[in-house]
A = this chain, B = another copy of it.
Amino acid sequence: MKLKQLLTLTAAISIAQFTFSQNSSSPVVEDFKPSSVNQIGKQYPQVNSEGRVRVQISAPEAKQVQLDIGAVKYNLVKNDTGVWIGESAPQDEGFHYYQLNIDGASVPDPGSLYFYGASRWGSGIEIPAKDQEFYALKNVPHGQVREINYFSKTNNSMRHCFVYTPADYDKDTQKRYPVLYLQHGGGENEYGWANQGRANLILDNLIAEGKAKPFIIVMDNGTWRMPEGTRRPAPQGGRPAGQWPPKGWADGFMKTLLDDIIPMVDANYRTIADPQHRAMAGLSMGGMQTRVITLANPDKFSYVGMFSGGSISTEDLKEAPGFKEKVKLVFISYGSRELENRRPGFGGDPKADTEALKQAGMNTQFYVSPLTAHEWQSWRRSLYQFAPLLFK
Which residues on the B side are within 8 Å of A40 (C-beta)? Answer: 189
Within 8 Å of chain B (Cβ to Cβ): is A245?
Answer: no
Which residues on the B side are within 8 Å of A113 (C-beta)? Answer: 121
Q: Quick check: B142 and A145 within 8 Å, CB to CB?
A: no
A118 to chain B, nearest CB (A): 11
How many copies of this chain does one complex carry? Answer: 2
Which residues on the B side are within 8 Å of A314 (C-beta)? Answer: none
Q: Quick check: A58 and B146 within 8 Å, CB to CB?
A: no
A128 to chain B, nearest CB (A): 18
Q: Quick check: A103 and B59 within 8 Å, CB to CB?
A: yes
Interface hits, A43-75 → B, CB 8 Å: 57-65
Which residues on the B side are within 8 Å of A59 (C-beta)? Answer: 102-105
Q: Quick check: A158 and B145 within 8 Å, CB to CB?
A: no
A146 to chain B, nearest CB (A): 4
Q: Which of A85-93, A148-156, A334-342 contacts B (4 or more CB under 8 A)?
A: A148-156
Q: How far is the CA of A307 from the CA of B57 in the complex (A)?
A: 36
Interface hits, A10-36 → B, CB 8 Å: none
Q: Quick check: B61 and A64 within 8 Å, CB to CB?
A: yes
Within 8 Å of chain B (Cβ to Cβ): is A310?
Answer: no
Which residues on the B side are within 8 Å of A121 (C-beta)? Answer: 39, 113-114
Within 8 Å of chain B (Cβ to Cβ): is A82?
Answer: yes
Q: Which of A65, A105, A137, A144 has the most CB of B within 10 A?
A: A105
A55 to chain B, nearest CB (A): 12
Q: Quick check: A102 and B110 within 8 Å, CB to CB?
A: no
Q: How far is the CA of A113 from the CA of B57 in the complex (A)?
A: 21
Q: How far is the CA of A78 from the CA of B106 in the complex (A)?
A: 16
Q: How far is the CA of A116 from the CA of B147 in the complex (A)?
A: 18
Within 8 Å of chain B (Cβ to Cβ): is A100?
Answer: yes
Q: Quick check: A62 and B102 within 8 Å, CB to CB?
A: yes
Interface size bracket, A side: 35 or more
Q: Quick check: B108 and A110 within 8 Å, CB to CB?
A: yes
Q: Quick check: A104 and B147 within 8 Å, CB to CB?
A: no
Interface hits, A136-180 → B, CB 8 Å: 137-139, 142, 144-151, 158, 170, 173
**Chain B residue at smallest Cβ distance from A143:** B149
Q: How far is the CA of A375 from the CA of B111 in the complex (A)?
A: 24
Which residues on the B side are within 8 Å of A151 (C-beta)? Answer: 139
Q: How far is the CA of A20 from the CA of B194 in the complex (A)?
A: 46
Which residues on the B side are within 8 Å of A60 (C-beta)? Answer: 103-104
Which residues on the B side are within 8 Å of A114 (C-beta)? Answer: 108, 114, 121
Q: Quick check: B149 and A147 within 8 Å, CB to CB?
A: no
Q: Quick check: A110 and B107 within 8 Å, CB to CB?
A: yes
Selected from B82, B104, B122, B146, the residue in CB contact (under 8 A) with A146 is B146
Within 8 Å of chain B (Cβ to Cβ): is A230?
Answer: no
Q: Quick check: B122 and A137 within 8 Å, CB to CB?
A: no
Within 8 Å of chain B (Cβ to Cβ): is A211?
Answer: no
